[in-house]
Structure 1
Amino acid sequence: MTTIENKLAPLMSVNGAMAAALVDYNSGMMLGSSGTGLDLEIAAAGNTEVVRAKIKTIEMLQLDQQIEDILITLTNQYHLIRPMDTDRGLFIYYVLDSGKANLALARRALQTLEETITL
C-alpha cells in the first residue's frame, strides 16, 4: 500500500464506505486510492470536471466562497467530493453505499482526514 492509500484507509472504516481517492484537480489524475467497486481513474477525471464547473460558476457569480464539499446522490450511492483546504489543487473523492452509510458520519470522517493528512 502506498502512503496515500494508508492515509485514505481510515475512510474505509465508515459503515457503507466503498472507495476513496485523492485527486489532483489540475490534471484529473488519481494520486492514490482505497477500496473497490468502481473505476476510480475514470471517476477521478470525471469529478475533476464537476469541481471545475462549480468553481467556474462561483467565479461567474462573483461569490466570495470556497467549496466545502459537493454531494452527489445516486440511486444507491453517495459521492462526496471535498477540496482540501491545505492544498486547493487536491480533492478527496469518497463513495458510499447510501443504504448503509450515515452521511453525517461520512462527512465528519472526510473533514477529520483532511485536517490530519499531510503530503
Structure 2
Amino acid sequence: MANIKDTLGNLLSIDGAKAAAIVDSESGMVLGKEGTGLDLDVAGAGNTEVVRAKLKTMKSLGLKDSIDDILITLSSQYHVIRPLAERPSIFLYLVLDKAKSNLALARIKAKECDEQLAL
C-alpha cells in the first residue's frame, strides 16, 4: 500500500507528467500535491466542479455506473481525473505534457496508483 506522498511520486514518474494532486471532491480541498506549471489548489477546486457535474448528469440520466476517469484534452496538455475505486469522493488529478506522454500508459499507471493508495 502507498501513502499520499508515494502515490504522487508514482504519478510524477509517468513520462510527460508535470503535476499531480489528490483531491477531496466533497470539500474541493487538495490533500496532497506535487509538480509545477499550475496552481494545484485552484485546479483541485475547479475539477471538483467537473466531477460533481458529471455525477449530477449521470444521476439525471438514471445511469447506475461509476466514473473510471475523466479526460480533458487541451492543445498542449492532458488532464486526467480519476476518482478512487474504494473512495469515489477522492480523486487523483494528473497533468501531462501532451507531446511527451503516452495517454494509454498514463491511464494504466493512474489506475495502479488508485489500487495501491491507502488513505
TM-score (norm 2): 0.95
Deviations 1:8-65 (A, max 9, x none): 1011111100000000010000000111110000000000000000000000000111
Trace 1:1-119 onto structure 2 (pairs within 5 A).
3-119=3-119
Q: Point out 4+ residue stretches in structure 1 off by more than 2 angstroms.
A: none
The answer for unaligned runs of 5 or more in structure 1 is none
* Aligned-pair CA distance for 1:112: 0.4
- Count of paired positions: 117
Letter in 2 for 1:25: S
Residue 115 of structure 1: how far off its partner (Å)? 0.6
Q: What is the aligned-residue RMSD (CA, Å)?
A: 0.8
Contact residue 4 and residue 117 of structure 2 kept, 8 A: no
What is the CA-CA distance between 1:6 and the residue it aligns to? 2.7
Take 2:48 and 2:5, find their aligned partners in 1: how far apart are those partners?
19
Query: What SS does structure 2 have at the residue aligned with 1:63?
Result: coil
Secondary structure, in 3 states, of the residue corresponding to 1:37? Answer: coil
Letter of the 1:15 counterpart: D
Task: Quote the Cα distance in structure 1 between the aligned partners of 2:7 and 2:16.
Answer: 18
Task: Tell me which amino acid in the other structure corresponds to 1:42.
Answer: V
Cα distance in 2 for residues equivalent to 1:7 and 1:71: 19
Cα offset, 1:7, TM superposition:
2.3
Identity %: 55
